[in-house]
Amino acid sequence: MSKKDKVFTVKVRRDFCKGCGLCIEFCKKEVLGTSAKLNRMGYNPAEPVKPEACIGCMMCTQVCPDLAIEVYSG
Amino acid sequence: MELINNWPKYYKKDVVTHYCPGCGHGIVHRIIAELLEEMDLGKQAYLVCPAGCAVLAYHYFDFDVIESAHGRGTAIATGAKRAKPELFVISYQGDGDLSAIGTAETIHSANRGENISVVFINNAVYGMTGGQMAPTSILGQSTTTSPDGRNPEVDGYPLHITDVVANFPGVAYAERVTVASPAAIKKTKKAIRNAFQTQVDGLGYSIVEVLSPCPTNWKMTPVQSCKWIEEEMVKEYKPGLLTDKREERRKDRAC
Amino acid sequence: MSGNHCIAEAAIRAGCRCYFGYPITPQNELGEYMAANIRKVGGVFLQSESETAAINMVIGAASVGTRVMTSSSSPGISLKQEGLSFLAGFEFPAVIVNMMRGGPGLGNIAPAQGDYFQSTRGGGHGDYRTPVLAPASVQELADLTVKAFALADEYRTPILLLGDGMMGQMKEPVVFPEPLSELPEKPWALKGRGDGASRYQASLILDGLAMERHNWKLVRKYKEMAEKETLCELYMMDDADFAVVAYGTTARIAKGAIKRARKEGLKVGLVRPVTLFPFPDKILQKVAHQVKSFLVFEMSTGQMVEDVRLALCESQVEVSFHGRPGGVIPTPIEFSRVIHRYYRRMHK
């Protein structure tokens, strides 16, 4: 299976996210957006809004200062 | 489903740092933890964390860490590395720490060519104390102690300390990078890897200056902060390799 | 052997394997001896860019479990106070030598005892003390250097070895102890996590209650040292009704003066504190039952005299003071005249 055909799933660990928005800014496929609900720390965390568009480029995990994003393949 | 980005082995499991949203420290911390795992250096690692926002880094790193007085990181690192050369010694410092109060320690540890690696976080401001002017604040930059902007007639000019030490024969590797974009972060990781390898190879002092956002004290959003680095800060502090004398040092060692 | 050389040799024999220092008179011979000799046993000598850097290098070497020393003289010791406070906070063992000179400011390079307060009170910021050993002969410089390393490791604290320009330059025969072959284990030292759990060392304790606990822990340690480690020499005190109190160089001068006074029939003795912190309060209190008067003798305007008065505040004995600050070294003849004066006053 080539990388192209792979399916990726991005998950945001809500209570680890401080809502800085860097992942949203740098995701080329606009997979991520801001959650309307506050998390435990009182931030509006990021959340996948177009999960199916994820191509597993890992830009979001690169820029996340809080290791709040997990990307799964398959 | 398989997790691609595993939690770094040398980062404490599931910590939430005290850093503000969008702070660059978290990114650089992750890079250090990842590199110690990839380069198999975590077991003998000894990191000196500074007085400054990163003073609590020992709550996040899962390898041996000591705290230092303000500015003294490379003196402590020198003492530890000289006493136990088998340790892998990193001094993690901010701009106030490394280029103001610790200038003497920085200059002389670099000039002695101490076999240590320095990670220098330059966010052009004193973060922990609430946003005062740093030696690295750029001209015109408004801070709590330069409310009308940094004025060279009063405050002098931004200090390019990494460029200064890069000229020293004892400094084997010096590079300036940023964490303002995913591509820049990849370069940062590569630079810190080179710095770490310099120490592993026993070639002398290595330093990586990271232009890093401080959204809280810059009074910007994290995204604006990254743009400010890429549009303003890099004009003063040009990213790139400042010196690479590793081959020279290797030849010296071989002689 | 000179006092400064003697300390360096004793330190190497005591297992000191790192020395960091910055030149300052009158203790340069110590660093020079280290530069010539510590590397022969696989140790590290490094001339630092400042006293501040030196003491922080000491912190680095101490943190990984190495026996480490630095030395300086008064103005340089002031610069080291930041690191002394951190060493106390971290609870790291280290030996710091101060060969005192005249002050304040640059002062001069002659022997003086003006750093007593700075040494015994914990000269840096925060709530701590530094145990202080005050030798009075070259032999004792050797013995107390070895002891300083042992105490530092046992109690996990920086130890000050307090001499002066005279102690450092003075030459006397000395018998060194055999080099130590085994040093105590330091399970707390940072040696890399290896296969175990990671550790950290910090003096930052943001929680007030935890900081308070740490402060009281240090106090318990000092109390334990006061009980077990207080050292004091009594000289010609058996039948004395008048006691001189002096340490280090002034104690040597006092001994000469006391010998003269004894020949002239005065029942004078010497109480010589060897540990200045912990201070030998109890011994002084015991002596107070025997003598009518104390005369404290220092090469300062009066510092240790305050500790003597504190120790004796509940007794009725008189405490007088004679001081020669500024780097002036009084002679035994001069001091024996002072003893006569106070002795006559006591018997009036």
3-class SS of residue A41: coil
Chain B residue with Cα closest to A24? B223
Asked if C64 lies within 8 A of B82 by C-beta distance, the reply is no
What confidence score (pLDDT) does residue A3 get?
A: 57
**Parallel, antiparallel, or unpaired: how do β-strands C268-273 and C232-235 relate?**
antiparallel
Flag whether B9 is in a domain. no
H helices of B39-131, in order, are: 73-83, 95-96, 103-111
Q: How confident is the model at residue C193 (pLDDT cuts 50, 70, 90)?
A: very high
Flag whether B55 is in a domain. yes
Pick the CATH number of A3-73 from 3.30.70.20, 3.90.1170.50, 3.50.50.60, 3.30.365.10: 3.30.70.20
Whether C133 has a pLDDT exceeding 70, the answer reads yes
Q: For B15-33, what is the mean pLDDT?
A: 98
d(CA C12, CA C62): 15
Flag whether B17 is in a domain. no
SS3 labels along chain C: CEHHHHHHHHHHHCCCCEEEECCCCCCHHHHHHHHHHHHHHCCEEEECCCHHHHHHHHHHHHHCCCCEEEEECHHHHHHHHHHHHHHHHHCCCEEEEEEEECCCCCCCCCECCCCHHHHHCCCCCCCCCCCEECCCCHHHHHHHHHHHHHHHHHHCCEEEEEEEHHHHHCECCCCCCCCCCCCCCCCCCCCCCCCCCCCEECCCCCCHHHHHHHHHHHHHHHHHHHHHHCCEEEECCCCCCEEEECCHHHHHHHHHHHHHHHHCCCCEEEEEECEEECCCHHHHHHHHCCCCEEEEEECCCCCHHHHHHHHCCCCCCEEEEEECCCCCCCCHHHHHHHHHHHHHHHHC
Amino acid at B239: P
What confidence score (pLDDT) does residue C348 get?
A: 80
Min Cα–Cα distance to chain C from B43, Å: 4
What confidence score (pLDDT) does residue C320 get?
A: 97
Q: How confident is the model at residue B255 (pLDDT cuts 50, 70, 90)?
A: confident
Amino acid at C229: E
Asked if B2 lies within 8 A of A73 by C-beta distance, the reply is yes
Kindly list the residues from chain B whose CB atom is less than 8 angstroms away from the CB atom of residue C203.
Answer: 67
Whether A2 has a pLDDT exceeding 80, the answer reads no
Question: Mean pLDDT of all residues in chain C?
Answer: 97
Does any CB of chain A come closer than 8 Å to the CB of residue B213? no
Cα B106 to chain centroid, rounded: 12
- Beta partners for residue B91, in sequence order: B48, B118
Kindly list the residues from chain A whose CB atom is less than 8 angstroms away from the CB atom of residue B223.
Answer: 21-22, 25
Whether C261 has a pLDDT exceeding 60, the answer reads yes
For helices C208-229 and C138-155, angle between their N-to-C axes, nearest 10 degrees: 140
Nearest-by-Cβ selection for A22 from B1, B19, B22: B22
Asked if B80 lies within 8 A of C190 by C-beta distance, the reply is yes
Does any CB of chain B come closer than 8 Å to the CB of residue A21? yes
Task: Classify residue A54 as left (phi > 0), alpha (psi -120 to 50) or beta.
Answer: beta
Whether C44 has a pLDDT exceeding 60, the answer reads yes
Q: Which residue's structure tokens are 């994290």?
A: B222
Chain C residue with Cα closest to B82? C44
Kindly list the residues from chain B whose CB atom is less than 8 angstroms away from the CB atom of residue A67.
Answer: 7-8, 11, 26, 30
Kindly list the residues from chain B whose CB atom is less than 8 angstroms away from the CB atom of residue A56.
Answer: 4
Nearest-by-Cβ selection for B64 from C59, C190, C195: C190
- Statement to judge: residues C137 and C191 lie in one domain: yes
Q: For C7-20, what is the mean pLDDT?
A: 98
Asked if B64 lies within 8 A of C192 by C-beta distance, the reply is yes
d(CA B11, CA B13): 6
Of B3, B16, B190, which to mutate for an interface test with A (greatest number of A Cβ within 10 Å)?
B16
Chain A residue with Cα closest to B25? A65
Strands of the C68-72 sheet, one edge to the other: C44-47, C18-21, C68-72, C94-100, C158-164, C132-133, C275-277
Flag whether B99 is in a domain. yes
Q: Identify which of C55, C48, C45 has the alpha carbon closest to the alpha carbon of residue C78.
A: C55
- Statement to judge: residues C254 and C117 lie in one domain: no
Nearest-by-Cβ selection for B45 from C82, C86, C192: C192
Q: Exposure of C126 by Cβ count < 10 A (0-12 exposed, 13-18 middle, 19+ buried)?
A: middle
- Statement to judge: residues C241 and C207 lie in one domain: no
Q: For C101-123, what is the mean pLDDT?
A: 97
What confidence score (pLDDT) does residue C180 get?
A: 86
Q: What CATH number corresponds to the domain at position B181?
A: 3.40.50.970
Asked if B1 lies within 8 A of A70 by C-beta distance, the reply is no
Q: What CATH number corresponds to the domain at position C145?
A: 3.40.50.970
Asked if A56 lies within 8 A of B4 by C-beta distance, the reply is yes
Kindly list the residues from chain B whose CB atom is less than 8 angstroms away from the CB atom of residue C46.
Answer: 78, 82
Kindly list the residues from chain A whose CB atom is less than 8 angstroms away from the CB atom of residue B221.
Answer: 21
Cβ of B138: how many Cβ atoms within 10 Å?
17
Evaluate whether A54 touches A10 at the Cβ level (below 8 Å): yes
CA atoms within 13 A on the CB side of B247: 2
- Beta partners for residue B3, in sequence order: A72
Q: What is the DSSP letter of B209?
A: E
Min Cα–Cα distance to chain C from B89, Å: 10
Q: Which domain holds residue C245?
A: 232-347
What confidence score (pLDDT) does residue A4 get?
A: 62
Would you tell me which residues 182-201 of chain B have a C-beta closer than 8 angstroms to some C-beta of chain A? 182, 185-186
Helix, strand and coil percent figures for chain B, each rounded to 5: 45, 20, 35
- Statement to judge: residues C222 and C246 lie in one domain: no
Contacts by C195-202, CB closer than 8 A, 24 or more apart:
C195/B43, C198/B10, C198/B61, C198/B62, C198/B63, C198/B64, C198/B65, C199/B64, C199/B65, C200/B58, C200/B64, C200/B65, C200/B66, C200/B67, C201/B65, C201/B66, C201/B67, C201/C63, C201/C90, C201/C92, C202/B58, C202/B66, C202/B67, C202/C90
pLDDT in tens, C285-311: 999 999 999 999 999 999 999 999 999
d(CA C313, CA C316): 8
- Statement to judge: residues C167 and C306 lie in one domain: no
- Statement to judge: residues C165 and C131 lie in one domain: yes
Nearest-by-Cβ selection for B16 from A8, A20, A66: A66
Min Cα–Cα distance to chain C from B173, Å: 22
Segments making up each domain of chain A, as ranges = 3-73
Evaluate whether B124 touches B133 at the Cβ level (below 8 Å): no
Domain total in chain B? 1
What confidence score (pLDDT) does residue C232 get?
A: 98
- Statement to judge: residues C75 and C189 lie in one domain: yes
Contact between chain C and chain A (3 or more Cβ pairs less than 8 Å apart):
no
Q: How confident is the model at residue C317 (pLDDT cuts 50, 70, 90)?
A: very high
Flag whether B11 is in a domain. no
3-class SS of residue B190: helix
Q: Which domain holds residue B113?
A: 24-254
Return the percentage of chain B with pLDDT > 90, whole number: 98
> Which pair of structure tokens corresponds to residue B211?
């232009």
d(CA C165, CA C144): 17
Spell C24-51 as b/e; 16+ CB within 10 A means b: bebbbbbbbbbeebbeeeebbbbbbbbb
Asked if B64 lies within 8 A of C56 by C-beta distance, the reply is no
Q: Pick the residue with more confidence: B255 or B205?
A: B205
Whether B123 has a pLDDT exceeding 70, the answer reads yes
Does any CB of chain A come closer than 8 Å to the CB of residue B13? no
Q: Which residue's structure tokens are 């609430």?
A: B130
pLDDT in tens, A33-52: 999 999 999 999 999 999 99
Q: Neighbours of B (≥3 Cβ pairs closer than 8 A)?
A: A, C
Domain total in chain C? 2
Of A25, A26, A67, A70, which to mutate for an interface test with B (greatest number of B Cβ within 10 Å)?
A67
Min Cα–Cα distance to chain B from A19, Å: 7
Q: How confident is the model at residue C197 (pLDDT cuts 50, 70, 90)?
A: very high
Evaluate whether C98 touches C77 at the Cβ level (below 8 Å): yes
- Beta partners for residue B171, in sequence order: B205
Q: Which residue's structure tokens are 């995204």?
A: B223
Whether C347 has a pLDDT exceeding 90, the answer reads no
Whether A1 has a pLDDT exceeding 60, the answer reads no
Amino acid at C5: H
